[in-house]
Chains A and B, each alone.
Chain A
Amino acid sequence: MNQLNLPILSLLIFSPLIGVLFILFCGRKSHTMIRNIAMASSLGTLVISCVILYTFKSHTSLMQFEENVPWIAQWGVNYHLGLDGISVLLVFLTALLTPICILSSWNYISKRVKEFHIFFLMLETAMLGAFLALDLVLFYVFWEAMLIPMYFIIGVWGGPRRIYAAIKFFLFTFVGSVFMLLAIMTLYFIHKDITGVASFDLMEISKIIVAPHLQMWLFAAFGLAFAIKVPMFPFHTWLPDAHVEAPTPGSVILAGVLLKMGTYGFMRFAMPLFPYAVMEYMPYISALAVIGIIYGALVAMVQPDMKKLVAYSSVSHLGFVMLGLFALNAQGVQGALLQMINHGFSTGALFLIVGMLYERRHTRMIADYGGIAKVTPMLFVFFLVVTLSSIGLPGLNGFVGEVLIMVGAWSNQFMDRSIYFTIAAATGVILAAIYMLWMFQRVMYGPVKNEKNQNLEDLSPREIAVLAPMILFIVWIGVYSQPFMKTMEASVRDFNVQIEARFKASLTVPKGVKAIVISAPQQQLPAEEKVTE
């Protein structure tokens, strides 16, 4: 079956549900018990993901640990899971952030503790499933399944305008996914027409190439769903509201993992399936990405609310990811993939820190702080490192991702004038320093103006435990990115090769034909381990 002889991906996906099962039997009031179970269960998931990461073979772009059983046979729906270099780090990130979020909610979530942890673990299952699904229906199911727990996490445990935010989040995402569902159905029918085989399996569907003009429509439908999730300008307005209202763990998981669903969706589905549309839309998507970088940064700069500031900064950071992704070369795509991970750590940690401040002072307004550095020296250090990581300081993770993305985007061979996009994107480096350092200064530096800030407590051991793993990865990726780059290298190379090959094949589709069958997509044979020494 796979190198472990275990349905380990299923184990991974559904391990959080074991925790849910135990929590169901707990009393409503036994908060500590519930928290411990949730923590244990998510740590178990983390252990499984570490085993996967450890046994993962980085020299091949083939799917690993594959599981494939018929699910709804008459419609060709399969329960097909698999993992490659594109998803492996995202899976690990999800498994790592979940226990961190649960630990961070220790004091923050005090009402309906039982329901919260049930929803949170369900969310983890859905996220892992979405990253591992290789069947379009299965992916769609997990994709939609993420929506429900997140909707409740915002709507029940959120701030004062939580209902508005939750509905807005739901509406935006749902409208997008409706289009995606339509595109999935269309693709299914086209595939059935051409091959006579009913299948939603990504591997099966990859065997056909859709006619260019249909690609444009289908890519647009998939792309809208993913662009909303990323979120790309101008589909981003749900994000600040959702972040501001969501409780800390909700914000962390939203920024850390859920947003990556959008960029991951582009990589896994929209881009390989519709390469002609990728080339056609490339200038527009790159332009929107660059607008997002600058616009997000400028709007972040003037936010009085820390969470909103971080939310808009996400728009800016994810703009970089999209720009790199559509460069379609090794540097751009690897940088984009790394930047997805980086953003999970940096922005996740930022939300954690804002949450810690909120727990102390019950305000997120920058103006209510000032001079905290003297009162809370530990917090100062952690906040500083995370801020610098978000700014993209060399030696920390953000820099590696951003530089690779811009190097890639600069020499994008598929688009004219790509350097202008890159130059514009590079101004984001200046703007990031402005909005982050200005915020950091107003919170941390200066005299303590507000009496209430005089006696703030410094970080507790639990809070240090929450932040320490984030800092570890922030520094590790920044100083020695090789282990991370290695996991994705082969898959990204194959991704780029496939897109170019399939683009050329798209041009050969005769007029009046909806699609053609191509020989099985050539997956790269396991290459010799590349030695850089």
Chain B
Amino acid sequence: MKQYIWLIPLIPLLGVIFNGLFGRAFDKSTRSVGGLFACGTVLASFLMSLKAVVELSQMPEGARLIVNRVFPWIVAGNFEVWFSVALDPLSAVMILVVTGVGFLIHVYSLGYMSHDEGYTRFFAYLNLFMFSMLTLVLADSFLLLFVGWELVGLCSYLLIGFWLHKDSAANAGKKAFIVNRVGDFGVLCAMFAIFGVFGTLDFQKIIAMVEHNATVTPWFLGKALPVLDVLHTATPLFGITLITVICLALFLGATGKSAQIPLYVWLPDAMEGPTPVSALIHAATMVTAGVYMVCRTSVLFALAPQALMVVAIVGCATAIFSATIGVAQYDIKRVLAYSTVSQLGFMFLACGVGAYAVAVFHLATHAFFKALLFLGSGSVIHGMHEEQDMRHMGGLAGKMKITFATMLIGTLAIAGIPFFAGFFSKDEILWKAFSTPLGEQFGRTLWMVGTAAAFLTAFYMFRLIYMTFSGKPRWHEHTHPHESPLSMTGPLMILALFSIIGGWIGTPPAWPVWQNHSFYEWLHPMFSQAEHILTTMSLAHPHHIDHHAAHALETQLMWGSVVVALAGIAIATVFYFRTNRHEAVRRILAPVHFVLNRKYFVDEIYTWTIVEPGKWFSSLFLWKIADAGIIDGFVNALAGLTGAVGGVVRRIQTGVVLNYALVFVLGVIAILYFVVWSGV
């Protein structure tokens, strides 16, 4: 298996080819062949991933790395990038999550998309996504990661706009691609700078060079220096260090792909796509690519504590900001979308305080419960005949028992109730934020805001459950809700199982029973270097860690956050469970509700400060005034003038052109002759 890691991303590509070429040849009765083929490729990929990860785990710790160099992709001068994949503990986690959750969502789509006329096209796109995402997480170099990075963006674009005839879908797809491109601009610049310093884009080489403080010849010096000195050179940008600038540029890319402030605006709109897409791409896998990239480059980020602080602040701010928006949304998928933005914020918060392994852990548990929640909402929407507004739902618990039960499990997981997967990861993030080496006051603030976001999460998620499943039905006439077929409920049940047990492989140190840290042990070699750099740094500013007191404090905080989650649930119960009390509150807080419901008007602000002025400037100033007016006006005036001189104004034809040119030639000859033969 070790020589065939590259097959893992490639197999789903077969599905793309199969459905792309023959998809249109199938009719309604035979097209499930295409769907099954697509599922089969992902299953094969999953099984191969399992086999590969097992083999990886049998290797000695610290030497767990399998590299396949397949063929040279771009080579020019010393710029050399191969199509090369690497399996290490971090990418192992990622491929298992991607292929595992991906396979379940493929199966679910068999049922969900069964009536859609773009059935085979859908599976072709979905398989293309699997190929791209697996390329992203297995890439051995920045540039190949960027290939996956852009290709998942393409798949997102295609799948958001999957229903071609919907204008809103097309707009959302385009918005997603363009906003992501803004982030990609940052990644590109960071890559150029990294290549300019290191002379390579290979992750392994870069990390080794940092570790050994190798000598490099960066583009701006022209002489050799130790790499750490180069990275800590002050830049003209407010004097912050080069490595900080590089990391911030990388993080700009992460804010695009992983929907953080200020580039989060595309993700809520992305819900225009079919629900399995929202589950797979816009919740479980693609949007975590930014978190993955920060973790993959943890060593670089560790060298730039200022950048890390920005990551933590942005993550924390996004977590609370989008949670407040989620409170006031009525579209079931939009609530989940803002919740995804918020949870991604938690992951970045973890990255920012140097707790990379916890970020990856939350990434994995989130993949389970958020995919579950989205697929559950899809089951609701499917059963309600494409209704997404929760104001027209209610009382569905009895009609859709499996959907209700599984979604409740997912909700308990995301709300942070003990024993469920989300609890272990989220609680550890809050603790790591509290005890960050980046500063006591800083850590406390992050913890406070994070806890508030966790409270809101519990609140709006139970609001969703109550509005959807409890109380009296508020359905439209002729709606006959029904439970979904097994192909859809099956994946729900499996994901629910993982939402319960998934957290038990990484319990926090303060957890009283059944201690198990295998997840953190598995990832330890990936982040030990970054953690080492960070600890050395914090030793410079002694933090007086008393382990015994820390342990006690952690236990207190843990129970505190449980209380906070329960409080959120309690308040949701008071206002939403079989009652209309929330209507009264909404009336009292009407202005607040309006602002939250309209998402702080951020889209409108972007439209009127960037999009419209940009169009106006380009159209009126650049095109009509500069291009047609000044440049062309000058040319036409010149032509008109010569025409007048020649005495033929109306009949400008080649003859006149040639005359004009001839006069011109003679003039220029005279000038040049003067310059050349007399000027020397």
Contacts and interface: CB of A to CB of B under 8 A. Distances in A.
Interface string A168-187: 10111011001101110110
Contact of A295 (B167, B196, B622, B657): B622
A441 B675 CA distance: 55
Given A167-B654, A410-B219, A446-B170, A485 B615 contact: no
A427 B185 contact: yes
A383 to B, nearest CB: 13
Contacts of A404: 74, 76, 79
A298 B622 contact: yes
Interface string A293-310: 001001101110000000
Contact of B178 (A167, A221, A434, A482): A434
Nearest to A449: B167
Contacts of A434: 178, 181
Looking at chain A's contact residues, the main secondary structure is helix
Nearest to A370: B167
Nearest to B635: A237
B73 interface: yes
Interface string B640-680: 00000000000011100100010011001100100110011
Given A406-B192, A437-B178, A329 B77 contact: yes
A532 interface: yes
A302 B623 contact: yes
A481 B178 contact: no
A234 interface: yes
Contacts of A295: 622, 626
Contact of A411 (B143, B219, B617, B619): B219
A532 B632 contact: no
A270 B170 CA distance: 47
A532 B181 contact: no
Interface stretch (A14-22, A44-52, A339-347, A392-400): A392-400
Interface stretch (A76-84, A112-120, A275-283, A371-379): A371-379
Q: How many B residues are at the interface, by size bracket?
A: 35 or more
Given A403-B74, A407-B192, A532-B75, A178 B665 contact: yes
B639 A171 contact: yes
Contact of A447 (B147, B167, B182, B631): B167
B76 to A, nearest CB: 4
A528 B220 CA distance: 32
B151 A394 contact: yes
B627 interface: yes
B238 interface: no
A514 B680 contact: yes
A180 B174 CA distance: 45
A438 B174 CA distance: 7
Given A298-B622, A406-B188, A217 B672 contact: yes
B184 A371 contact: no
B222 interface: yes
A53 interface: no
A467 interface: no
B665 A441 contact: no
A504 interface: no
Given A175-B664, A302-B615, A430 B74 contact: no
B623 A485 contact: no
B652 A167 contact: yes
A379 B680 CA distance: 62
A314 B654 CA distance: 27
A410 B196 contact: yes
Contacts of A181: 665
A286 interface: no
A185, A190, A299, A438 interface centre (most CB from chain B within 10 Å): A299
A485 B75 contact: yes
Interface in A214-241: 214, 217, 221, 234, 237
Given A167-B653, A335-B76, A482-B75, A445 B672 contact: no
B181 A430 contact: yes
Nearest to A448: B165
Contacts of B668: 178-179, 182
Contacts, number: 190
Nearest to A423: B189
Contacts of A371: 164-165
Nearest to A374: B164
Nearest to B249: A423
A388 B151 CA distance: 10
Interface residues of A, number: 80
Instruction: From A237, A371, A485, name the one whose CB has the most chain B CB atoms within 10 angstroms.
Output: A237
B177 interface: yes
Nearest to B169: A445
B566 interface: no
Contacts of B680: 211, 214, 512-514
Contacts of A514: 676, 680
A104 interface: no
Nearest to B24: A377
Contacts of B78: 330
Contacts of B173: 441, 445
B195 interface: yes
B77 A330 contact: yes
A1 B652 CA distance: 49
Contacts of B166: 446
Contacts of B184: 429-430
B63 to A, nearest CB: 25
Interface in B186-233: 188-189, 192-193, 195-196, 219-220, 222
Contacts of B170: 441, 445-446
A404 B191 CA distance: 12
Contacts of A214: 675-676, 680
A446 B182 CA distance: 25
B220 to A, nearest CB: 8
Given A217-B676, A407-B192, A393 B185 contact: no
A331 B639 CA distance: 41
Contact of A299 (B618, B635, B675): B618
Contacts of A171: 639, 657
A365 interface: no
B428 interface: no
B164 A430 contact: no
Contact of B661 (A178, A189, A433): A178
A334 interface: yes
27 contacts: A168-B635, A171-B639, A175-B661, A175-B664, A183-B672, A186-B672, A217-B676, A234-B631, A295-B626, A298-B618, A302-B622, A329-B77, A395-B147, A404-B76, A411-B196, A413-B222, A419-B196, A423-B189, A426-B192, A429-B184, A430-B185, A433-B178, A437-B178, A441-B170, A446-B166, A482-B72, A532-B75
Interface of B: 24, 71-80, 143, 146-147, 150-151, 154, 157, 161, 164-167, 169-171, 173-174, 177-178, 181-182, 184-185, 188-189, 192-193, 195-196, 219-220, 222, 614-615, 617-619, 622-623, 626-627, 631-632, 635, 639, 652-654, 657, 661, 664-665, 668-669, 672, 675-676, 679-680
Given A298-B617, A400-B74, A413-B222, 14 more contacts: A186-B676, A214-B680, A217-B675, A329-B77, A373-B164, A403-B143, A404-B79, A406-B188, A437-B178, A438-B174, A446-B165, A481-B73, A512-B680, A532-B75
Closest 3 CB pairs of A and B: A330-B77, A445-B170, A411-B219
Interface of A: 151, 167-168, 170-172, 174-175, 178-179, 181-183, 185-186, 189-190, 211, 213-214, 217, 221, 234, 237, 295, 298-299, 301-303, 329-331, 334-335, 371, 373-374, 377, 388, 393-395, 399-400, 403-404, 406-408, 410-411, 413, 419, 422-423, 426-427, 429-430, 433-434, 437-438, 441, 444-448, 479-482, 485, 489, 512-514, 532
